[in-house]
Amino acid sequence: MSNVVPVHCQRVSPAEWSGRVAALAAADARLLTLWGSDERDRGAGELLRAAFLEGGGIVVLELALATDAPGYPRIDAHFPSAARMQRAVRDLSGIVAQGADARPWLRHGAWSQHEHPLRRDFVRATPDPAHYRFVRVQGEGVHEIAVGPVHAGIIEPGHFRFSVVGEKVLRLEERLGYVHKGIERRFTELSLADARRLAARVSGDSAAAYSWAFSMAEESIRGVTVPPRAAWLRALLLERERIANHLGDLGALGNDAGFGVGLAQFMRLKEDLLRVNACVLGARYPMDAVVAGGVARDIDAAGRELLRAHGELLARELDALRAIYDEHAGMQDRFIGCGSVATGLAVQLGLTGLAARASGLPHDLRCDLPVAPYPALGVTRAVDIDGDVAARVAVRFDETAESLRICRELLGALPDGAIRAPLSDAVPRGLGIGLVEGWRGPVLIALETGADGAIRRCHPHDPSWHNWPVLEHAVIGNIVPDFPLINKSFNLSYSGVDL
């Protein structure tokens, strides 16, 4: 079983770009991400890359652009989720999608429109505040409700502009990117080991997924094979991360529907899981557990037994709480039919991950493009077809139960042997991509090393890039008080799209 995903890079000309993108769309390929790189120090211009999931691997299109005219044909006509990625690439790299939305996405006046933080000659930013043009909905009785960017809860900033008639939502427009951190540039200033630690903190609730994706990209460049025991331990970390987040969301969804007991019970279960993590795995959240070549820490027989016993107890409690949720008329009245995303719309907009599976799309990298040890585990996909809050709740219950089963399999058949492969001091020049099915959906790291083995470029990509725009559609026709419930049913990452 391989520990890396197959990647095929294709250099295309400007004349070939649009045709190749259209062909991928016609073949039902899925856009993964879009990013730019400054190649001027190599005597070239800007380089645009787009990664797609097609068949049994990743296809990366590479388009070389002149320094004085870094424009390219837009791709959001074929892949709508690219719209905000195109805007982010323009802000950070100065590469322009021709004819696309020219409003900034990550640039909130911290630097001017003529400065681009990912260009190698960028020194410091010149503040350049500008008015942001929201799309206006006009008509009799239409008014706007502005929510955020500062919220009452302890969450990251995001602005939501509702156009409503009465309490019915006609349109929602989001604006994110308020706490841009410069992570992509910071990667190029770090060693590989420190960069992996930073990757694990891009979106803290997905630490195992991001650190595994980064390590996978590095292992691809180095040609390193992960020992079987290490691969199984990685899966254990990832599945426990999935369980923890689903438990927290199930409690919060119950609370948003007026069932505070659900929040109390699920947060108790999540806290128990995190305490067991700390006891056995060394940390409540495994931010430094996955390393290049394997994992940083083994578990002994006592730790395996504690994890096994805790998993059995959690499975019983989960069944009991699911019966309560399913039979609670008040919650089901709030869940059913709320925030619906039909299968056709999910396909059109490129919905991904858990939310996509709740709308009838069975995509799951653990089944579609599995790396070790998932081919041996027989993962059962959790899928619903209704696409509403109730479906997203059901998928969370199903996935939590399946992750508990996977953990039992991992603990019961954990191979003997090393937990980390040796690494050479020399790092070859290359491009590696890591792709992992995190709890929200596919988490990607594109890592490029130079001739000296240092990081030239590192691009992390969160599935929330694809799903935030879908939330704008999911709330249409619902009432404003249902927005917190719909939003929580997606539970997307602010930090993951604000690098």
Alpha carbon distances (Å) from 101 to 91, 177, 225: 12, 16, 43
According to CATH, the topology of domain 1-132 is: Beta Polymerase; domain 2 (3.30.460)
Q: For residue range 293-309, list pLDDT tens digits in order.
A: 999 999 999 999 999 99
* CATH for 183-490 (2.170.150.70, 3.40.1260.10, 3.40.50.300, 1.10.645.10): 1.10.645.10
Cα–Cα distance for residue pair 212/234, rounded to 1 Å: 7
Q: What pLDDT score was predicted for residue 222? A: 96
Q: For residue range 179-230, list pLDDT tens digits in order.
A: 899 999 999 999 999 999 999 999 999 999 999 999 999 999 999 999 999 9
The answer to whether 84 touches 91, Cβ cutoff 8 Å, is no
Among 21, 85, 18, smallest CA distance to 59 is for 21
CATH topology agreement for domains 1-132 and 183-490: no
Q: For residue range 368-423, list pLDDT tens digits in order.
A: 999 999 999 999 999 999 999 999 999 999 999 999 999 999 999 999 999 999 99
Question: And the tokens for 45?
Answer: 């211009």
β partners of residue 38: 46
The answer to whether 144 touches 138, Cβ cutoff 8 Å, is no
pTM over 0.75: yes
Residues of the chain with pLDDT under 50: none
Domain locations in the chain? 1-132, 142-175, 183-490
**Surface-to-core class of residue 491, CB atoms within 10 Å of its CB (0-12 exposed, 13-18 middle, 19+ buried):** buried
Cα–Cα distance for residue pair 168/146, rounded to 1 Å: 15
Phi, psi angle pair for 58, to nearest 5°: -110, 130
Cα–Cα distance for residue pair 97/366, rounded to 1 Å: 33
Q: What pLDDT score was predicted for residue 265? A: 98
Q: What pLDDT score was predicted for residue 125? A: 79
